Structure 1
Amino acid sequence: MPAAIRVHQTGGPEVLTYEEVATPLPAPGEVLIRQHACGVNYIDTYYRSGLYKAPSLPFTLGAEGAGEVVAVGEGVTEFKPGDRVAYAGAIGSYAAERTYPANRLVPLPDAISYEQAAGMMLKGMTAQYLIRRTFKVTTGQTVLVHAAAGGVGLILCQWAKALGATVIGTVGSEEKAALARANGADHTILYRSEDWVRRVAEITDGRKCEVVYDGVGKDTFPGSLDCLRPLGMWVSFGNASGPVEPVPMLLLSQKGSLFATRPTLGTYVAERADLLATASDLFETVASGKVKIPVNQRYPLKDARKAHENLEGRGTTGSSILLP
Structure 2
Amino acid sequence: MHQPTHVQKIVFERRNALQIQDMSTGTSTPFEAQELVDYFTVPFPQKPEDWPEGTEWVPEKYTAEEHMIRYGALVFADRRTLNLVHRLAKGHGFGSESGFSCNPRRQMDFLSRMRNSVLFPVLTEVLDRSYWLPTAFAPTSLDGWMETFGMANAPLETALTNLLERANSGVACHDDLYLKSIEDALRNEMSIFVTASRPSTRSDHALFQRIERFVSHAEFMECFDPKLLDFHAITGMTSALSEYQQIGKTVEGLISSPFMSKVGKKVIITDGNAFYRSEVSDLRFVDHQLVATFLVRGARRASTLKDLLDSAPERLWVFEEPFSLPSGEPGTRWATEPDPTEK
Q: TM-score, normalised by structure 2?
A: 0.28
> Is the radius of gyration larger for structure 1 or structure 2?
2
Higher strand proportion: 1
Whose relative contact order is higher, 1 or 2, with alpha carbons under 8 Å and at least 6 apart?
1
Q: TM-score, normalised by structure 1?
A: 0.29
